[in-house]
Amino acid sequence: MLPKIILYDEIPADLLERLEQHTDVTVIDTFKGIPDTELHALLSATEGMIGVGETIGPKILDLAPRLRVLSTISVGYDYFDVPELTGRGIQLMHTPNVLTDTTADMIFMLMLCAARRATEVHENVRQGKWREAVGAEWFGSDVHGKKLGILGMGRIGLAVAKRGYGGFNMEILYYGRSVNEQAEKDFQAKRLPLDQLLAEADFVCVTLPLTDSTKKLISSRELGLMKPTAFLINGGRGPIIDEAALIEALQKRVISGAGLDVYEKEPVPADSPLLSLPNVVTLPHIGSATHETRYAMAKCAVDNLLAALASQSLVNCVNPEALQHAS
Ligand code: DGY
């Protein structure tokens, strides 16, 4: 008998077909709002789940005693309580690698747009305000040749460093738990304590995952250490930056500007001051959002799910220890 799985997202038709060849798939939009009685029937025999953006909490887990594999269509897995899944013997699979370059491209776009004030002047042009050759009031700042401070030198941090060093002749500084030998060798990257990096960098790029130790890592004190000419770029997770502190720093020009793809609350509330500040570029969490990369992520997640269900494969598994708890 094919293992029962739940798909709680949309995936391309050919990938759905592949899932259907190997599993008994139930497709839902969301778990939210499903009455308890229906949830019970839906989950009691489920062995796998695949999707993104839902919190799979204890209530769902309690109703799914046969669940063995959760496959998220994302590299980040902060939606999940990993120790809880491990204790229940549930493997959590994610999609690293396939989105690295696309996300690094987006982070660079944020840097360039924030520094060159692209969205601000674009808006001016649209409003018919371009009536003569541009003067200093529309000038931006250079990116090339500046100091790029990267918070988190993982796969995405490394890809940002590569672009900055190789393409823009930037000096690479980084803050991270461990030394990244490749970054130091290939891009002459210098590992610094956080405060020193903040004080030296012209661009501070967040590429860290969200954990208890990175939550609100950047607040008023840290923003106050940055140069008034510097830019803060967030391509990691919103809660790593204290958003109220950032808004105040941007309003008071403690820093020059920000480029944000992620927010404390998503979608960002329509009345957030971030949306009306001229020195902020705001994107709607599109780090990996290209046709090619979203396809590759969905394919990776499908492969991860099928491999783990068939053979307890640990490729792209966040919590290999889960197997020791599996019954
Ligand atoms: C990821 O994969 O974690 C991206 O942020 C999309 O959610």
40 in a domain, yes or no?
Answer: yes
CATH number of the domain encompassing residue 129: 3.40.50.720
Residues 25 and 92 in one domain: yes
CB contact set of 289 (below 8 Å; sequence gap of 6+): none
How far apart CA 309 and CA 3 sit, in angstroms, is: 8
Residue written as token pair 């307890």 = 312
pTM (predicted TM-score): 0.96
In which region does residue 10 sit, left (phi positive, over 0), alpha (psi from -120 to 50) or beta (all else)? beta
Residue written as token pair 């990996």 = 288
287 in a domain, yes or no?
Answer: no
Residues 64 and 212 in one domain: no
**In 3D, which of 210, 207, 254, 194 has the Cα closest to residue 111?**
207
Residues 181 and 306 in one domain: no
Which residue owns the Cα nearest ligand 1 atom 5? 76
271 in a domain, yes or no?
Answer: yes
Q: In testing the pocket of ligand 1, which one of 50, 72, 97, 99 has its CB within 8 Å of the most ligand atoms?
A: 99
191 in a domain, yes or no?
Answer: yes
**Ligand 1 centroid to residue 161 C-alpha, Å:** 20
How far apart CA 173 and CA 224 sit, in angstroms, is: 19
Residues 192 and 302 in one domain: no
User: E strands, the chain, where?
Assistant: 4-7, 24-27, 46-51, 69-72, 91-93, 147-151, 171-175, 190-191, 203-206, 231-234, 257-260, 280-282
Catalytic annotation on 40?
A: no
Catalytic annotation on 126?
A: no
Q: How many domains are contained in the chain?
A: 2
| Nearest atom, ligand 1, residue 99 CA | 2
CB contact set of 17 (below 8 Å; sequence gap of 6+): none
230 in a domain, yes or no?
Answer: yes
16 in a domain, yes or no?
Answer: yes
Alpha carbon 65 to its chain's center:
30
Query: By residue range, what is the domain housing residue 174?
Result: 100-282
User: Per the structure block, which two tokens stand in for 299?
Assistant: 């394919």
pLDDT tens track, the chain, 327 positions: 999 999 999 999 999 999 999 999 999 999 999 999 999 999 999 999 999 989 899 999 999 999 999 999 999 999 899 999 999 999 999 999 999 999 999 999 999 999 999 999 999 999 999 999 999 999 999 999 999 999 999 999 999 999 999 999 999 999 999 999 999 999 999 999 999 999 999 999 999 999 999 999 999 999 999 999 999 999 999 999 999 999 999 999 999 999 999 999 999 999 999 999 999 999 999 999 999 999 999 999 999 999 999 999 999 999 999 999 987
